[in-house]
Amino acid sequence: MTWRLITEDGVSAAYGLAADEAVTQRVGRDLSPQTVRLYTYRSHCALVGRFQTVENEVHLDYCRRHGIEVNRRPTGGGAIIMGADQLGVALMLARSDRTAYGRAREIMAQFSRGLLWALNELGIRAAFRRKNDLEVDCRKIAGLGLYRHPQGGLLFHASLLVDLDIPLMLRVLKTPFEKISDKQIRTVAERMTTVRRELGRAIEVAEVREAVARGFARAFELELTPGTFDADERQAIRELETRKYRNPEWIFQTADVPEAEGRAVLKTDGGLLDVRVSLAGRTIKAAYIRGDFFANEQAITDLEAHLRWHSSDPAAVRETVSRVYHQHRHDWSLISLSSLCEAIEQAIEHGAHHLNQSGEQPYGCFVTPARYHA
């Protein structure tokens, strides 16, 4: 089996996203070959997930002042920054019998194998974990997303962190914290890692890209043939770029899903727990557990990751917290399961209270014109 390999650098956000979607559509209709595209964006751009609201995720004033493009991915998940040191990975495939009925998580696990091969070859032991990310010792090194095109194409997206400017990321993306501090930067650094950090050397993006190409070839036992987009593909990309990815109605569509932050500070026998959650309707977008207590940092980040994109239903939250807590029972020191549950539930209740005060129901649906579907 052969896949086409396309490499590009310094692309705009609109072009980069339009190329992935337009070619995926064509692959689904058997008009283009199955393709793996390994590319970088022009530094920097901010890409929100399919259903996120830009204003809630991105500091737009900062982006405008610094020429940072903002756009919306067709794939799900959270907001990211992309640039010369973040390798974009797009698999544009036909939905075969092997993927037509695959569970989302299983499809992502399957396609992430190429990245795991590559990281392993470079000397990094990463794993597919939790909310569909690749991690090294509980630190995220790559985010994954998936989009099933109605005409049969399947787009697997990944952003592999070769390096990351955390202070810049915190200036571009919104977090529940009021200000950017050294402590906040340390907090993020404890939850994310990069290829350069793991290797302890300034490896070039090109070297990582070559390893990723070899990784996909080996993981899927196929040959990658270097190529470029043909004239028909370039035309399809231009059309989609103009109609969708340069259209403010697509980029800045607003969700009816109300969002809110919740916080709880709880004094416990084991120390002070300070929990913050970001809610989108009844879904927990993110959870941050801080305070003044002793615990293994990996136990904290593991729990935070399990709560990301999780139902805020109290019973479901308790079940997950209990399960993850017991996996790290000895890492929580004097913090009890009951106090941890109580703090998280209070933070969720606080956020839900804000949702109710806004006078809106926590909708999980919003409406945009159907013309933005490719």
Partner 1 sequence: MANSTFSAPTDRAYDRDTHLWVKKDTTTGRLIVGIDALMLDTFGDLAYIQLPEVGTPIRRGDAIGSLEAAKMTSEIIAPVSGILIGVNEAVLQDPMKVNQDPYESGWLFAVDGTDWENERQHLVHDPAEIAAWMQAEAERMNAQQNLDA
In the complex, the residues that contact partner 1 under the rule CB under 8 A are 49-51, 74-77, 97-108, 110, 131-132, 144-150, 255-257, 280-283, 309, 311, 313, 361-370, 373
> Per the structure block, which two tokens stand in for 308?
């990301």
Is residue 37 classed as helix, strand or coil in its secondary structure? strand
User: Which residue, 37 or 310, is less far from partner 1 as judged by CB?
Assistant: 310
Q: How far is the CB of 30 from partner 1 (least distance, A)?
A: 16
Nearer to partner 1, 132 or 339 (CB): 132
How far is residue 356's CA from residue 287's CA, in Å, rounded to a whole number? 20
Q: Which is nearer to partner 1, 76 or 176 (CB)?
A: 76
Distance CA 250, CA 243 (A): 9
**Is 211 or 236 the residue whose CB approaches partner 1 more closely?**
236
CA–CA dist 256, 253 (Å, integer): 10
Q: How far is the CB of 33 from partner 1 (least distance, A)?
A: 23
Report CA Rg, the chain.
21
CB of 73 to partner 1, least distance (A): 9
Residues 6+ apart with CB under 8 A from 318: 341, 345
| CA 293/CA 155 separation, integer angstroms | 43
CA angle (342, 345, 350) in 5-degree steps: 120
C-beta closer to partner 1: residue 5 or 286: 286
Q: What is the dihedral of CA 8, 10, 13, 15, to 10 degrees?
A: -50
Our CB check for partner 1 shows the closer of 254 and 338 to be 254
Q: Residues 192, 133: contact at Cβ < 8 Å?
A: no
Number of Cβ within a 10 Å radius of residue 244: 23
Least separation in angstroms between CB 266 and partner 1: 27
Q: Using an 8 Å Cβ cutoff, are 300 and 343 in contact?
A: no
Smallest distance, partner 1 to C-beta of residue 295, A: 27
Cβ distance to partner 1 smaller for residue 74 or 270: 74
150 contacts 78 by C-beta, under 8 angstroms: no
Provide the minimum distance between the beta carbon of 323 and partner 1 in the complex, in angstroms, as a whole number: 16
The CB-of-109 to partner 1 minimum distance in angstroms stands at 8
Question: Element (H or E) spanning 44, and its range?
Answer: none
